[in-house]
């Protein structure tokens, strides 16, 4: 049995927002992982109101590695958490409460660097596209050719990850209106849910955590009326 103890010193008045991110993203993924036996969020202490503690209990080290990855001693955060944390540590103990591995620490600056790098990557790899492409509806045989589906998907992912307006999508992703309409179609016919599940399955745990917020918020973002018409 392995106990993983994540401890964070939060910025003042940030606990509610931090706990909400955990409940929406990392905790559901942890509960669904095989080998995860128990999970406990510590209650705030009167003398340390900005300290957050999350304890997870794993069946064994291979189970923890299967979720976290080979760098199981490292801290993993969800995008959006870095701006709420002053510093954090993670420690591991076995069933005899003997320390396992090293205690790792990370300050706000390094967390922000990790978050920036995670948010910048929105391109779909060849392997991911090979899994996703068969899930897409067949193209229409009549009418104008459809916009490149892979580029359109990456445009959708760009908006979900960055929160930008559809009309502000960089030109490399094509028309913002096209991306918005394609997401609307895919959500209506169930395609988007299949893409979501398939793409998450291709990611390691840090990648799944980095994308969790985007997919959870993957509802249709309204398009302004003065946006460009779709191509």
The residue extents of the domains of the chain are: 2-119, 121-216
**Residue indicated by tokens 């922000």:** 112
Reported confidence tier of residue 45, pLDDT bands at 50, 70, 90: confident
Query: Can you tell me the mean pLDDT for 93-103?
Result: 83
Choose among 181, 213, 173: nearest CA to 196. 213
- CATH 3.30.70.100 is the classification of domain 2-119: yes
Looking at residue 225, its pLDDT comes to 38
List pLDDT tens digits, range 171-208: 989 899 999 999 989 988 889 888 888 887 787 766 66
List pLDDT tens digits, range 117-167: 655 556 788 999 999 999 998 876 665 667 789 999 999 888 887 778 888
Choose among 135, 88, 127, 115: nearest CA to 214. 115
Name residues whose C-beta falls within 8 Å of residue 2's C-beta, 6 or more positions apart in sequence: 57, 58, 59, 60, 61, 63, 64, 92, 93, 94, 100
Choose among 10, 5, 69, 65: nearest CA to 210. 69
d(CA 207, CA 127): 15
Looking at residue 52, its pLDDT comes to 92
List pLDDT tens digits, range 69-86: 778 888 877 767 778 888
Looking at residue 197, its pLDDT comes to 81
Highest mean pLDDT among 56-60, 71-75, 98-102, 208-212: 56-60
Q: For residue 214, which phi and psi values (nearest 5 degrees)?
A: -65, -45
First-to-final CA distance of the chain: 56
Residue 112 has pLDDT above 70, yes or no: no
In sequence order, the β-bridge partners of residue 55 are 5, 40
Reported confidence tier of residue 224, pLDDT bands at 50, 70, 90: very low
Burial of 16 (0-12, 13-18, 19+ CB in 10 A): exposed
Paired tokens of 108: 């706000």
């Amino acid at each position: 049995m392995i106990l993983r103890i994540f401890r964070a010193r939060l910025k003042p008045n940030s606990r509610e927002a931090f706990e909400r991110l955990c409940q929406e993203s990392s905790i559901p993924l942890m509960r669904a992982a095989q080998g995860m036996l128990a999970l406990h969020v510590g209650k705030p202490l009167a003398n340390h109101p900005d300290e957050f503690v999350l304890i997870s209990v794993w069946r064994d080290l291979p189970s923890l590695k299967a979720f976290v990855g080979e760098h199981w001693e490292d801290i993993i955060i969800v995008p959006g958490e870095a701006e709420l944390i002053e510093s954090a540590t993670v420690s591991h103990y076995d069933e005899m409460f003997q320390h396992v591995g090293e205690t790792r620490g990370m300050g706000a600056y390094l967390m922000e660097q990790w978050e920036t790098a995670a948010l910048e990557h929105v391109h779909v790899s060849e392997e991911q596209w090979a899994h996703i492409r068969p899930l897409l509806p067949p193209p229409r045989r009549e009418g104008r050719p459809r916009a490149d589906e892979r580029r359109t998907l990456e445009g959708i992912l760009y908006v979900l990850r960055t929160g930008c307006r559809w009309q502000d999508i960089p030109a490399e992703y094509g028309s913002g209106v096209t991306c918005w309409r394609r997401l609307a179609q895919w959500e209506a016919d169930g395609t988007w849910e299949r893409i979501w599940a398939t793409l998450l399955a291709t990611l390691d745990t840090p990648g799944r955590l980095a994308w969790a917020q985007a997919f959870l918020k993957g509802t249709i973002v309204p398009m302004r009326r003065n946006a460009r018409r779709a191509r």
